[in-house]
Structure 1
C-alpha cells in the first residue's frame, strides 16, 4: 500500500466499475470530521494571503473540495496524491461539476508529488493545515511503509507554520499512535511538536481518532 503502482491500479479499477464518478472515502466522509477541521480555519495567519491547506494522500476523497466549498475565509486547498490516476479523476470531476467556493478568493488544486518529499513543492513554514485521513495508516500497515510514514510526518512538520496543525484521522488505538508520533517528533531528546488526541466516534463498530500534531516554534532550526 506504499507503492504508486498499487494505487494507480486501485483507482483505475474503481473508476472502471461505474460510468459516473463517485468519491471513495477511507473511514468516513467530510461530515464526520467537519467539526475538527473547520475551527482551525477561522483565523488568518497572514491577512493578505489565503490559508494554505494540504490534503495528503487525498485519493478521490471529497475532503479537500469540501474544505474549499465551506471555508468562509479564503483558502488555497492543495490535494496531494502519488497516483496520477486519482489526481486526473479529481481534476476532471471538479471541472465537470464546476465546484464553487464559499469565498470567491479560494483556490483548489490537485497535484502529484510524493508526500515524503513535500519540501520540493512547499516552502518551510508556509502551510496552515494538513489533513491526513488514512494515509499514515496505509503506510504503517505496509511491509516497508514505516520508514516512509516517518518521512511524511517530518515533512509535514517542516512545511507547517508554527501556528499550523497536522490532523491525522485514524482507527489506531491512542496507546500505539501517540507513542509512535511522540517518538518520531522527538529531535535530540526534545519534542519538536505537541501531540493531542480526540475521539471522532464509532462507525460500524470501529472507534476513530483525531491526532493533532502542532509544531513547537522553538524547535525550528
Structure 2
C-alpha cells in the first residue's frame, strides 16, 4: 500500500509540473529509495536530486499537505496549551514538507515547533528556504527550528516528558517498508511514548488499513516497562484514490519508570 501511495504522490506532483519534468527524480532513483527508506544516504540523494532539478524551492509533500490534517492537529495543540507554556511540537521526519512551518504559522497558541529529519540535505534546504522567505507566526511567542535527527535515536536528544505532540506523516510507514523496519519502527514508537508528556500524543498519518496498524501499534507499544498505550484512529479521507488515516497513540501511565 505504501508503494502505491508513494507512487501516487509522485505522479500527482509530476502532473502539476508536466511542463518541466526534469524537476522530478528518475525512476531508478525512486526504486532505490523504496528499498532503502531507513537510510540517510538514500534520502540525501533524493532531496539533492529533486532540489537540483529546479532553481526555485518547492515543498515536497508525502501523501498530502497541512490543509488536509489541520483539523486533526489543532485540538491537540489546544489541549496541551492548558499548561500555560509554549506547546512543544516535533514534526518527525519532516523532509521538505510545509507541515511544521504551517503549524508554526497558523497556531493561535504559542508553539515551539521542531522540524527534524535524518537528511542534512533536507534540513539545510528548509533552513535556507525559511531564511529567504520568513514565516510570520500568528502568535508572536511561537518559535521554529530545523534539526538533523535520526528518529531511531529520539531519546538520545529528548529527555523524558519533554514533548507535547509528535507528528509523523509517513515516517513510520517508511521504516516499516525497510528491511529492518519493523524492529526500528517499534523502537521509535516506544521512544516517542517516553519523550511525550503525560498528556501528550503521537499522531501518525498513514494509508495503512486500521486492521493492521492498530494491532501493530498496540503490540509495539508494549515492552521495556511500558504498559499498553491508548490507541485510536480517525479517517482523514480519500485522496487520489487512496484512503488515509490519523492514528493517535497516548501513554496512559508513567512511561518513564
TM-score range, shorter chain: over 0.9
Q: Output the CA distance in 1 between the equivalents of 2:243 and 2:158.
A: 33
Partner residue in 1 for 2:98: 62
Pairwise CA RMSD? 1.4
**TM-score (norm. length: structure 1):** 0.96
Deviation digits for residues 158-189 of structure 1 (CA, Å, limit 9, x no counterpart) = 10011010000000000110111010112389
How many pairs align? Answer: 220
Q: CA separation of 1:190/1:120 partners in 2, compared to 1, >3 Å: closer, same or farther?
A: closer
The answer as to 2:161 corresponding to 1:125 is: yes
Q: Contact conserved, 2:114 with 2:147, CA < 8 A, in 1?
A: yes
Alpha-carbon distance between aligned partners in 1 of 2:124 and 2:106, rounded to the nearest angstrom: 23
| Structure with the larger helix share | 2
Unpaired segments of 5 or more residues in structure 1? none
* 1:196 matched residue in structure 2: 232
Equivalent residue for 1:30? 66
Q: TM-score, normalising length from structure 2?
A: 0.83
Alignment of 1:2-151 (within 5 A): 2-43=38-79, 44-47=81-84, 49-151=85-187
Q: Comparing both structures, which one devotes a greater share of its residues to strand?
A: 1
Distance 1:190 1:85 in 2: 35
Instruction: Return the offset for 1:41.
Output: 0.8
Find the aligned partners of 1:126 and 1:80 in 2 and give their Cα distance.
15
> Which 5+ residue runs of structure 2 have no aligned equivalent?
1-36
